[in-house]
Structure 1
Amino acid sequence: MKTASAPWLAFALLLLGTTLGLAGTDLVLPAVPGLPDVLGGSAAMAQLVLAAFVAGTCVGLILFGELGARTDQRALLISSLIAYALVSLACALAPSLPALVGLRFLQGLSGSAAAVFAPGMIRAMFSEAGAVRALGLMGSVESLVPALAPVAGVWLLAAFGWTSSFYVIAALSLAVALLVRGLGSSLPVPPPTRGEGSYFRLLINRAYLRYALSQAFTLGGLLIFVFGAPAMMTKALGLSLNAFILMQVTGIAFFVVASNIAGRLADMVGPERMILLGSGISALGLIGLTVYGLNGAADARVITALFVPVNLGLGLRGPPGFFRAILASDGDDARGAALVILFILATTAIGTAIAAPFVTAGLAPLAGIAAGGSCLSVILLLTLPGLKAQ
């Protein structure tokens, strides 16, 4: 069944839930440097406030992916949002930095359910074309969170102190939980997992890996470059942070446009062609940045222009690619979505660690490492089997 009463209202609730999960990092980010002055501890321990949240998210993805395949996802979503609200409140009341680090792990764990359940619920609510459009819109909104949430975090920190971001997350999470509870009939019951689903079955499913890993390598390539770009631009190229901001804002704008037209274009040329085309465009953008860096040039406008296809390609392939990964999971939607996100986090973390020693060595090393990941996406699409025509 592909329809539900008020599907776009249900989609809005899922979007709010996933956005709040992302805000757990970005809204809190501005307060992190000042935490040792308030709670004691070191600057290194303060960074664990971020790392613990990511670690908890990874565990939560696997946990909710498993639970979602076994029980009512709507009840799990409500419970997770309430838990996220309560743990966020506890974070605001943390007596010390070590206590906050531990609570942040639980916060990341409890806040990851919406990201796991949303793709399967969206698949159940809409037709394939509608689901791709919905995923494109979700990706557009989520792409704005890293850009806008830190700005809101700075304002909250200046106006109300470091605890305010946690209070805001707690209040909004509880509100969304109540809305989901009150309007739960708008959320579909995703079809049950067929057969004996498991993470192992997904890991040996070559069609699933084709879409899931290519999604992770394309997005991971972009994020590896973005995470290293501020240090690369300021330390190696002698540019200001304004150059990074210009690059980011321009890239996000093109990503938003591309992700919202991806569904219509996929209807015209076919999802498989769209996924391959978008992956290739994104990889070519990073290759272009690498070649430009090898020539020793460092014009912020050229870097911004070459960064555009990286975002454009991701926007074109992201929604149909994610949707095809869910389809390829063969009804194991919760585990399938959880693994895609986990692959993205792992690719980004490993790539960022590899690139870290080279971010002050110039544009070419950082862009080259990011391009390597993005090119792997194209290779996977050319070598692994896709879904058979339905």
Structure 2
Amino acid sequence: MSHAPRHPFAFALLVSGTVLGIAGTDLVLPAVPGLPRLLGGTPEAAQLVLAAFTGGAAVGLVLFGELGARFDQRRLLVGSLLAYAGISALCIFSPSLDVLIGARFLQGAAGSAAAVFAPGMLRALYGDAGAVRALGLLGSIEALTPALAPVAGVWLFEHFGWRAAFDTIAVLALVCAVLLQAGRASLPAPRAQRGRGGYGRLLASPPFLCLALSQAFTLGALLVFVFGAPAVITTSLGGSLGDFIVMQMSGIALFVLAANLTGRIVPRVGAGRVILAGTLVSALGGTAMLAYALAGGGDIAVVIAIFLLLNLGLGLRGPPGFHAAIVAAEGDDARGAALVVVAILLATALGTAAVAPFIAGGLVSIAAGAAVLSVSAVLLLARPRARRLPQSTP
């Protein structure tokens, strides 16, 4: 059976590209509170440094999804990283917060190509069976980035100032682009899909939409809870940021374990069953958290234990779920991957915005957000038109 280590160099290049895109937020994050003092502006405006990057990434995902269906994705990926490096370098010359916000939008757009192209390239490298394992390993590495990159960002900010994070991203992106260009022959070249109907065909496909949205809702449920957890833990539950770190690291560890097991489980029981099981486990975690919150529960240890169900569910369904959505795109891998990631961004953003006004109410607010999204994911898979879930992996 094919698996990721068969093509270590190509796999490492694709991982590096996707991780650099994620690091564009997490490495810069520690510098954000100090930007108003350094560049002028308000703390509220400084948050737009993060939001602009996310907004730019959403635009870039759609753009590269379309370009990737028409042109050589390997060249596009190299060009994307070169642009990402250049714009990251230009960020350090921003004379004001407003200019930096504009540059961050462009930076997010430029750095999003790897997230679009990596799933299809991994599928071409390893076949459908090996791609589930490869996506599991890729997802595991991606999950570590939000945990480790802010630590590096703090060190860079304290020792070298706010520009250091952008310098680091620029240098790493340039190195990655050079290596990709040198090793371009090791990467597959997915076939162009000019005549397949574009995004409209995918948005009109019930099997694809059900798989894409259920993937987005399952991950969104976890992220909405995580984004609100620091405030809830430190205020309503009387805990500390240390408790939040314990919760996060425990969840990441379980996700990594589950994500890497799916490659072994799927060939035995079928991708459809694993996707459904993971979605149900996630929904169990969301509803259990809401029930505990409504009952007045506030024990942080119990909250962490229930939170692990959200991570376990996502770990089980994450790799085969993403792969199944790409398969449901019927050969249009680039556009399919782009829409899945955009759906994840939208589900997370809208869910976080929906619970934000009620965050002072404590655990109930973020638990309700996680419950609604995770249960919605189950309902999507239960729809008759979603019954074309793959029952096995070729």
Tell me the TM-score normalized by structure 2. Answer: 0.96
Q: For residues 131-280 of structure 1, what are the structure 2 equivalents within 5 Å?
A: 131-193=131-193, 195-280=195-280
1:19 equivalent in alignment to 2:19: yes
Give 1:191 shift: 2.6
Contact residue 89 and residue 166 of structure 1 kept, 8 A: yes
1:290-329 → structure 2 map (5 Å cutoff)? 290-329=290-329
Amino acid at match of 1:371: A
Which residue is 1:336 aligned to? 336
- CA distance in structure 2 between the aligned counterparts of 1:176 and 1:388, rounded to whole angstroms: 35
Cα deviation, 1:296-342, whole Å, max 9, x if unaligned, reads: 12111111111111101100000000001001101111100000000
Distance 1:132 1:255 in 2: 15
Alpha carbons 1:236, 1:362 under 8 Å: kept: yes
**Retained in 1: the 8 A contact 2:4–2:130?**
no
Would you say the 8 A contact 1:57–1:108 is kept in 2?
yes
How far apart in 2 are the matches of 1:296 and 1:343? 33
2:328 maps to a residue whose letter is A
Mean Cα displacement is larger for which, 237-246 or 278-287? 237-246
Q: Which residue of 1 aligns with 2:52?
A: 52
8 Å CA contact retained: 2:60, 2:109 = yes
Q: For the Cα contact (< 8 Å) 1:66–1:334, is it kept in 2?
A: yes
> 5+ residue gaps in structure 1?
none
The CA deviation at 1:35 is 0.7
> Contact between 1:233 and 1:239, CA under 8 Å: does it hold in 2?
yes
* Worse-matched range after superposition: 163-172 or 356-365: 356-365
Q: Provide TM-score, normalisation by structure 1.
A: 0.97
Measured after TM superposition, the shift of residue 108 of structure 1 is 0.2
Identity %: 58
Deviation, 1:266, is 1.0
Partners of 2:3 and 2:130 within 8 A in 1: no
Instruction: Give the partner amino acid of 1:311.
Output: N
Structure 1 position 197, deviation (Å): 3.0
Deviation at 1:162, TM superposition (A): 0.5
What's the C-alpha RMSD, in Å, of the aligned pairs? 1.6
Quote the residue 2:388 is aligned against. 386
User: What is the DSSP-based 3-state SS (H/G/I as helix, E as strand, rest coil) of the residue aligned with 2:45?
Assistant: helix
Residue 4 of structure 1 and its aligned partner are, at CA, apart by 11
**Shift, 1:366, TM fit:** 1.6
Contact 2:85 2:170 in 1 (8 A): yes
Alpha-carbon shift at residue 265 of structure 1 (Å): 0.8
Equivalent runs, 1:30-179 vs 2, <5 Å: 30-179=30-179
Show structure 1 runs of 4+ deviating over 4 A.
2-6, 387-390
Question: Does the aligned pair in 1 maintain the 2:4–2:134 contact within 8 Å?
Answer: no
Q: Distance in 1 between matches of 2:62 and 2:127?
A: 27
Q: 1:266 to 1:4 in 2, by over 3 A?
A: closer
Q: Does 1:376 align with 2:376?
A: yes
* Contact 1:192–1:331 (Cα < 8 Å) also in 2: no
Question: Across the two proteins, how many residue pairs are aligned to each other?
Answer: 389
The 8 Å contact of residues 237 and 300 in structure 2, kept in 1 or not, is answered as no
Report if aligned partners of 2:4, 2:133 keep a CA contact under 8 Å in 1: no
- 2:119 and 2:245 map into 1 onto residues whose CA distance is 30
Aligned residues of 1:28 and 1:166 also touching (Cα < 8 A):
yes
Structure 2 residue runs of 5 or longer lacking an equivalent are none
Once residues 4 and 341 of structure 2 are traced to their aligned partners in structure 1, the CA distance between those partners, rounded to angstroms, is: 26
Say which SS state the counterpart of residue 88 (structure 2) adopts.
Answer: helix
